Amino acid sequence: MPGGVFDISPLVDWIGVLSPIMTFALAVWMLVSSRPRSNADKIEKIEKRQNHQESRIQKLENDLTYLPTKDELHAIDRKMTELHGSLNAVSGQMLPLKHAIENLQKWAMGLRDGE
């Protein structure tokens, strides 16, 4: 450093050499570090999806406990068939009553019209 002047030309040469090396090292570091972050994000998404699926399965299992069994459905079907038969029998018994009411209605209408 003669005369108080600082010569930075060797430093500029080293910066020119080190800059591409540092850029390359930074790119490698970014690639290496981004992969675990990407995997962590994917794992987190999969865990959320799995938790959602587990809650859906649990809800279905809870709902299934309240559904009737095959035997219970068969019993309901038998009762419905019995009820259908009973309604048909009552319907047959109601037919003469229907005719009687229709005749009374016709008779009453005749009285109203002045017959």
Would you list the domain boundaries of the chain? 7-67, 69-115
pLDDT tens-place string over residues 51-64: 999 999 999 999 88
| pLDDT for the residue 113 | 64
- Count of other CB atoms within 10 angstroms of residue 59: 10
Is 0.85 surpassed by the pTM of this model? Answer: no
pLDDT 10s digits, 85-96: 999 888 888 888
The Cα 44–Cα 48 span in angstroms is: 6
Query: Strand ranges (DSSP E) for 4-114?
Result: none
CA 13: distance to chain centroid? 64
